[in-house]
Chains A and B, each alone.
Chain A
Amino acid sequence: MRMPRVKICVFADLRDLLGFSVVDLDTQPESVRELIDTLSRRYNRRFRRLLIDRKTGDLKRFYKILVNGRDIDFLDRLDTRLKDGDELSFFSPAGGG
């Protein structure tokens, strides 16, 4: 089976952390959680520690992940399955007016 190719977009301080703004990634059939692990292994181990709450295993409060513009909280959260052509966006805490 061909590995799904997904587009990863990261913003704000996550760009400095991972060293890129946008990258296309060939992945194993993965969930968002497994993708975070992959990105941590490939780019910066701090990425997983920054995003995931150690106690609960959930995404930390105010961090945000979109799959094709939809917040994963309204999909399957970190267990959301990825498919070929998906675009993921990762945001650290933000505010404004």
Chain B
Amino acid sequence: MKLNILRVNLTRKTSKKQTIDDATVVKFIGGRGLGLKILYDELKPRTDPLSPDNKLIFMTGPTTGTAVPTGGRFHVVTKSPQTGGIADSNCGGDWGPELRFAGYDGIVVEGASKEPVYLWIHDGKVEFKDASKYWGKGVWDTEDGIRAELKDPEIKLASIGPAGENLVMYAAIINKKHRAAGRCGVGAVMGSKKLKSIAVRGKGKTPVADPEKLREAVREAQKIMKANSVTGEGLPTHGTAILVNVLNKHGAYPTRNFQTGVFPTADKTSGETITKTILTGKMPCWGCPIACGRVTKITTPPYQVDGEGPEYETTWSLGAMCGIDDLGAITKAHNICDDMGIDPISYGSTVACAMELYEKGRIPKEKLYGVELKFGNPQTIVELAWMTAYRLGIGDDLALGSKRLAEKYGAPDLAMHSKGLELPAYDPRGVQGHGLGYATSNRGGCHLRAYMIAPEILGIPEKIDPLKTEGKAKWVKTFQDLFAFVDSMGACKFATFALGAEHFAKLINPVAGWKLTADDVMKTGDRIYTLERMFINREGFGRKDDTLPKRLLKEPMPEGPIKGRVVELDKMLDDYYKVRGWTDGKPTPKTVKELGLA
């Protein structure tokens, strides 16, 4: 299967089509894998991520825009301004399929424009349009404005808000107003190129090699996903925030900057409470039968909002992480993050870090404009979202992210990150394998490289003891490899609650005309994960960076079911390197050769 890439040079305002041959596509698939391959081959090491020399890659997968269940996704790949390593972020919504309908499977954006522009890609044609009237505006006004300007309400857009324009370290790229390529500062890279939005529209079709075989495979996958109680019932009914009480009762719900794992009023911000009080509907991404998205509305002041969310990660990051249990404030702040184009995981964690710095007397009050930066103050997360997006007052410091913020105020140990990317909503002192996943994630503190919560807490595909360290390395590698494949093919990782490698092979083969087995799927994922590791090695990352905050390694959990526990990372890390065929965080020449990366 060949893929068609659009090469855009914003400095020269030129574009050209490039075809990626089948030999490359079958090795790296598309999405995360192919985006990474292009970046690895073309980007010089030590390139400044915010310079015109960085490349910003939008890549769909072969199954994006086909009948494959959850096949609506695309991936953004670039070098991260937040971490200095790989930035890659997966996104749903409806932009990915439309890009393919418009004639392109991916876009590589190079250079930088002197003035704000947006790209208009429609049925193969590419136009550079003036975005000056949208510069400074939120994503929502930008989407509405461009659709009105181009006189087509069905245009799909991937845009940045003021956060990306102002180079906030964790700025996101948003499509369909609420779906984010959220992490690692991909929005800041887009902002550095003065690229406000990419608008796409097309009437093309996505190629499928064997439509009849695909129909069979889709029928089978849909049946399995419907019968599965997580994808068929739990997620559609309750959304992801159903996990709030699960993690809290395990004592592993990070609270007040990971100072503890128990949040007494967690239920006030849980999926159950969202369903009972503010939920008005479900929102699926393109081609998704699960529909985990939440449509919500609040009509009572002071936090009136008509939008979406919060999801599990945001109800946590803007909630318990900051000691806040006001669902109205959390929902409002979640929606401001969507509109301003901010990663709410990193934002909430940075605010929590700032709260602990404030508690310890390190943040100057004059930068706060009268806002008390205390744990539990709901005003903070709402107001500081605007201030961060526009870099006002303390917002200018919060825009740095927790690592640089904590370093600036002389307390680096108070930033809860790995490799510079803030940790998400699970305290690994209670979920040991998940801690290994955080530490060995190539892009930094991430729960979606190896979602060890699935086996260690949820029992998917089987239950393993979260408090033990033995055997975790192999599980982490398996998840990392499978998820790398799924991120590359254009499907959603939530499908993995029901489907395994053999199902993904059955789905992609009739699309691409391949004959992959389940083992091929896993080996391809291994190849992609290893190339990512080679990318960050080249940028100076190694074993010293495969670590966790001191709090999680040295400070025992003070209370709750996992009282007294720390992450026993060293025990698991050596196992992990052995299982990966790496030494000190670097793939050995033998491993590189075996995976066809030499």
Contacts and interface: CB of A to CB of B under 8 A. Distances in A.
Interface of A: 9, 11-13, 15, 21, 61-62, 64, 66, 68-71, 73-74, 89, 91-97
Contacts of A68: 561
B493 to A, nearest CB: 7
Contacts of B271: 12
Nearest to B247: A96
Contact of B238 (A73, A94, A97): A94
A93 B251 contact: no
A11 B466 CA distance: 21
A70 B458 contact: no
A69 B246 contact: no
Interface string B466-501: 110000000000000000000000000110010000
User: Which of A68, A69, A74, A94 has most B Cβ within 10 Å?
Assistant: A94
Contacts of A12: 234, 237-238, 242, 271-272
A92 B237 CA distance: 11
B204 interface: no
A97 B249 contact: no
Contact of A95 (B230, B245, B562): B230
Contact of B246 (A13, A15, A74, A91): A91
Given A66-B561, A95-B454, 10 more contacts: A11-B242, A13-B237, A64-B246, A71-B466, A93-B233, A95-B230, A95-B494, A96-B241, A97-B240, A97-B313
Interface of B: 229-231, 233-235, 237-243, 245-246, 249-251, 267, 270-272, 292, 311-313, 447-448, 451, 453-454, 458-460, 463, 465-467, 493-494, 497, 560-562
A22 B245 CA distance: 13
Contacts of A11: 242, 245-246, 270, 272
Contacts of B458: 62, 64, 93-95
A97 B312 contact: yes
Contact of A9 (B241, B249, B312, B454): B249
A61 B459 contact: yes
B249 A69 contact: yes
Which 6 A-B residue pairs are closest in the complex by CB-CB distance? A69-B561, A96-B240, A93-B229, A95-B230, A96-B243, A93-B234
A73 B463 CA distance: 8
A92 B235 CA distance: 11
Contacts of B451: 97
Nearest to B267: A21
Nearest to A62: B229
A94 B236 CA distance: 10
A4 B251 CA distance: 23
B145 to A, nearest CB: 31
Given A69-B561, A91-B246, A94-B242, A15 B272 contact: yes
Nearest to A90: B249
Nearest to A22: B267
14 contacts: A12-B234, A12-B237, A12-B238, A62-B459, A62-B460, A66-B249, A70-B561, A73-B459, A94-B235, A94-B243, A95-B235, A96-B235, A96-B312, A97-B451
Contacts of B313: 97
Nearest to A91: B246
A66 B459 CA distance: 13
Nearest to B563: A69
Contacts of A21: 267
B230 A97 contact: no
